[in-house]
Chain A
Amino acid sequence: MVTVTNAPKIVTSRLDDPEGHTLERYLATGGYQGLRDALAKKPNDVIEEVKSASLLGRGGAGFPAGVKWGFCPPGVFPRYLVVNGDESEPGTYKDRLLMERDPHQLIEGVLIACYAVGCSQAFLYVRGEMALAQERIAQALNDAYAAGYVGKNICGTDFSVDVVLHWGAGAYIVGEETALIESLEGNRGMPRLKPPFFPAAKGLYLQPTIVNNVETLSNLPWIMRNGGAGFAALGAENSKGTRIFAVSGHVNQPGVYEVEFGVTTFRDLLYAPEYGGGIRDGKQLKAFIPGGASAPWLYPEHLDVPLEAATVGKLGTMLGSGAVVVFDEDTDMVKACLRLVRFFARESCGKCTPCREGTSWLEKILQRILDGHGRPEDLNLLLDVCDNISVGMAWPPTQTTICPLGQSATSPIASAVMRFKDEFEAYLGGPVELEVEIKGAAFVGPFEAATTEVSTGV
């Protein structure tokens, strides 16, 4: 039942080393060799190598990194690289570890990407609340500058690029790439409309800009050292390599685990002694979130689904940020829904009416239900509001807002109302007839997908 592979640790090899963040230890464990290997190639060949690895972005949307790099319009300079280290998705806990415990691996990845794409400057946007990550990155950058790995004439070549540490200041929405760019320009972090502002074409200062996640870039040194084919030999058909999953909630061993895509299943991740170790106090599993608070949840019948983007996508949800939150049988789903919705309501940037108004109405209605003042019509009202934020609640969602934050709030509610209607009715004091039709695959059941293609746009 439990498959634990001996796939190499690609991004987490130094995570348990208390000195892993120092330049000395990094160099002693193969550090900056991937950069040297990249510098020995032509930039285009580096892009091809990363394309052959089929490295998917680890920030949520899962877009192939090499392909994205190729989208910069030819001949337009300067180009910028922006590292998305704003990690704030509830349940997610991996980028912070990578930044705190292996900052050089990230910096090396940044340099490889800059070299390949032709970027003249990179900005490492680190979430404001992460004091230790900032300290460690600042120190690592200072050391790397002094040792000639960053800055002018890197490793004695004519490749020069500055890597600048930039701080966030507390706003979840800034994780969205165009909002991140607005924030980096000194503005409120409000998403831009895509199109026309696809960052690769018009990003920072309206110049071509590549936005990549911390984990995505941290994979690059290994890929350069071992080749794209070596990376692509690991994992599943459509999801290559390994992936970090953070397992939290009601499991015996909450933790951060690097596993091979497609081989490991949710059952392994939740129950294997090497990973989650089972539901605590011997309880039954009620539900789990497979990829951060924005991902519609899954249920016990989905446990044998492999951790692989396309398969999970067919269930109407996503691996998103790699955060698996586990709920046992005693969880009050109404309360959990309220907490999730409150998050989205608080963090809505306010630019689009359906998101700004919708999320706060959802919060108010759920609060009323929990306080015991709910009305029988509230259940249909909840679904109706959801339907107005995300029309038909189909998957992938219909776009009614500038970014996907608004619709993220609707899926946990719609799913919970369908599945745990009795829990809501208990608060409402009696049975309720549902009148709103839900189309989303996640609410239908295993493998009965409404859509086959995954395109989350997150």
Chain B
Amino acid sequence: MARFNEQNLATALEIVSRYPVAKSATIPLLHLAQEQDGHVTDDAMEHIAELVGTTPAQVLGTCSFYEMFKREPVGTYLVNICTNISCQIMGGEELLHHAEHSLGIKAGSTTSDGMFTIEDVECIAACTEAPCLQVNYRYFHKITTTEFDDLITDLRAGKRKDEIPPHGTLARTRQHIPADRGAGPADPTGVPEPTWLARNATGEEQGS
């Protein structure tokens, strides 16, 4: 299993339709595949290749370049701890070591119960709140080691489910372009000058 299910296929087709060239939908569709299965499977990449008109090898090439796409299952909670410069000097590395110690795993691996994966990541754009981390890409700022342990305890106990959706489901809201409001993708081959430019270029003030 792992081609898009019926509902996700509809979403995938909607996403593809927004781009002048279908291949541009590759990354959004890889996200969708990850949302469906928790990681990106070979079948999903084949299906994406069909949908965007390219080869599975090209989809894999793109998929493997980006950090967020996981080719293997990860824990229910993906804990990304920033150790980049601002976080480093505010205790990010100590936080990472504490996390490794208290979960009993090394960065990059998953606890045996499949609950937590920890990663040592680059700057997550919350530098003024250092040291910081993300759980399934939701932010936790100025985290102390005690707060880290409390967070883990909460998550183990099944709390904070509303706050932190499952891995893969990045945005809960999707963009919808209403059929009657969409201007439609502009085909890169031979689209004429948009009317509003033409109107203004030949308008009454021309030459002024």
Q: Which residues of A contact B (CB under 8 A)?
A: 42-44, 75, 77-78, 80, 87-93, 95-96, 115, 118, 120-121, 127-132, 134-135, 138-139, 141-142, 145-146, 148, 150-152, 157-162, 164-172, 183-189, 204-207, 246-250, 254-256, 289, 293, 323, 325, 327, 331, 335-336, 339-340, 343, 346-347
Contacts and interface: CB of A to CB of B under 8 A. Distances in A.
Contacts of B177: 145, 151, 162, 164
Contact of A135 (B61, B84, B171): B171
A91 B89 CA distance: 12
A244 to B, nearest CB: 11
A169 B86 contact: no
8 contacts: A128-B31, A130-B137, A152-B180, A152-B183, A160-B194, A169-B66, A169-B67, A185-B24
Interface stretch (B97-105, B108-116, B150-158, B197-205): B197-205
B160 interface: no
B9 interface: no
Given A130-B125, A205-B188, A343 B84 contact: yes
B43 interface: no
Contact of A246 (B128, B171, B184, B199): B128
B5 interface: no
Given A87-B125, A141-B175, A188-B62, A164 B19 contact: yes
Contacts of A188: 61-62, 65
- 10 A-B pairs with the lowest CB-CB distances in the bound complex, closest first: A170-B67, A186-B26, A169-B66, A120-B186, A151-B181, A78-B186, A205-B188, A186-B23, A170-B68, A188-B65
B143 interface: no
Find the residue from B58, B123, B186, B192 having the highest chain A CB count within 10 A: B123
A93 B122 contact: no
Contact of A121 (B68, B185, B195, B201): B185
Contacts of B54: 186
B170 to A, nearest CB: 5
B194 A170 contact: no
A169 B89 contact: no
Contacts of A141: 175
B130 interface: yes
B30 interface: yes
| Contact residues of A: prevailing secondary structure | mixed
Given A170-B68, A187-B62, A339-B88, A205 B27 contact: no
B27 A248 contact: no
A120 B171 CA distance: 26
B107 interface: no
Nearest to B180: A152
Residue in B24, B178, B192 with the greatest tally of chain A CB atoms within 10 Å:
B24
A118 to B, nearest CB: 4
Given A183-B27, A336-B89, A347-B122, A134 B170 contact: yes
A128 B66 contact: yes
Nearest to A97: B125
A393 to B, nearest CB: 20
A91 to B, nearest CB: 5
Contacts of A160: 183, 194, 196
Contact of A166 (B20, B28, B191): B28
A141 B186 CA distance: 19
Given A151-B183, A160-B183, A186-B54, A293 B28 contact: no
Given A90-B122, A186-B54, A188-B65, 10 more contacts: A43-B200, A96-B125, A118-B193, A118-B196, A120-B191, A121-B20, A152-B182, A152-B183, A189-B65, A325-B89
B175 A138 contact: yes
